[in-house]
Amino acid sequence: AGMYLSADAPCCPVIHNSGWCWRNPGILKIPGVITVRFLAPIPPGLSRKQFTLALQQALSQAKSLPRGKQTDLS
């Protein structure tokens, strides 16, 4: 929120599902497709509280991102 307030510019939230292929903790990586989604920009000028709420709502609505397809590379 601090960068958003300082920049006075729109914030474009980005989500991904890399956790499906790249587990944490550990170095094991599962072959597959990672999906990245750019969400609608949040306009500048919101208070810290308003921005945080808008970001939480955007991320919550976007949680329907499909899991990455695992592929067999053997």
Residue 70 lies in a domain: no
Per-residue pLDDT of the chain (74 residues; tens, 9 = 90+): 899 999 999 999 998 888 878 877 778 888 888 888 899 999 999 999 999 999 999 998 887 655 555 555 44
Residue 58 lies in a domain: yes
Domain around 32: 2-62
Residue 72 lies in a domain: no
Residues near 54 by Cβ (< 8 Å), separated by ≥ 6?
42, 46
Question: How many domains are there within the chain?
Answer: 1
- pLDDT at position 20 is 78
Q: DSSP for 4-37, please give it.
A: HHHHTS-B--EEE-GGGTB-SSSS-B--B---EE
Residue 73 lies in a domain: no
Residue 15 lies in a domain: yes
